[in-house]
């Protein structure tokens, strides 16, 4: 995993036309999305609830404290636990941008698999250039679930995913693009990446 330094990030919701700034504590983030060994192709067809359960399972197997408790629409996170979890969308965007200021951290064909270069399939991770913090496939290849609710008043339990995918057009592969779906939703271009809180 990559150690991500603390800082802050500004998020934007184009639908509601609002912006807000979020402080970021140092944390750990997977160098690439979770994969299916040994092919190193991202794990897909995984719902948000599946991802949360897998985080807890991997925590148990590694001897870490589980971050998640509860079930279905009532999952809570212990942010002080040392186990695996999903990144928040603020953490995800902050890590994706890696102190760059543009829509992407590099030229799209050099950093991402998307609709124009993927051949219609996901690809093994870490075949494209990483960002300056050593994180691969933050854009393209597969969308990545984040912890956050999208807009509870309007969408209820819908959770956020980020990053674009092998099936997405170029404009959908940007650091600030936000999508959402029900936590039981799964599809062949949506996966997740592991995070851990930095525990001293």
Per-residue pLDDT band at 14 (split at 50, 70, 90)? confident
Give the model confidence (pLDDT) of 189-198 as tens digits.
999 999 999 8
Q: How many CB atoms lie within 10 A of CB 95?
A: 24
User: How far is residue 116's CA from residue 27's CA, in Å, rounded to a whole number?
Assistant: 33
User: How far is residue 45's CA from residue 95's CA, in Å, rounded to a whole number?
Assistant: 24
Put simply, whether the predicted model's pTM sits higher than 0.85 gets the answer: yes
| Residues ≥6 apart with Cβ < 8 Å to 43 | 33, 34, 35, 36, 191, 192
Give the model confidence (pLDDT) of 53-85 as tens digits.
999 999 999 999 999 999 888 999 999 999 999
- What pLDDT sits at residue 33? 98
Examine the pLDDT at 32 and tell me if it is beyond 70.
yes
Examine the pLDDT at 200 and tell me if it is beyond 70.
no
């Amino acid at each position: 995993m990559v150690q991500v330094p603390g800082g802050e990030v500004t998020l934007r919701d184009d639908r509601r036309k609002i912006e807000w700034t979020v402080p970021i504590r140092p944390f750990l983030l997977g160098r690439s999305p979770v994969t299916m060994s040994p092919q190193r192709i991202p794990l897909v067809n995984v719902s948000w609830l599946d991802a949360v359960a897998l985080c807890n399972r991997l925590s148990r197997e590694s001897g870490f404290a589980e971050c998640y408790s509860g079930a279905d629409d009532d999952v809570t996170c212990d942010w002080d636990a040392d186990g695996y979890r999903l990144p928040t969308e603020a953490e995800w965007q902050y890590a994706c941008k890696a102190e760059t200021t543009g829509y992407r951290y590099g030229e799209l064909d050099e950093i991402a698999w998307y609709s124009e270069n993927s051949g219609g399939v996901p690809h093994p991770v870490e075949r494209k250039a990483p960002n300056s913090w050593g994180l691969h496939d933050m854009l393209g290849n597969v969308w990545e679930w984040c912890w956050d609710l999208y807009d509870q008043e309007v969408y209820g339990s819908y959770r956020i995913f980020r990053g674009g995918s092998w099936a997405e057009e170029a404009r959908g592969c940007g650091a600030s693009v936000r999508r959402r779906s029900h936590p039981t939703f799964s599809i062949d271009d949506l996966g997740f990446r592991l995070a851990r809180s930095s525990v001293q």
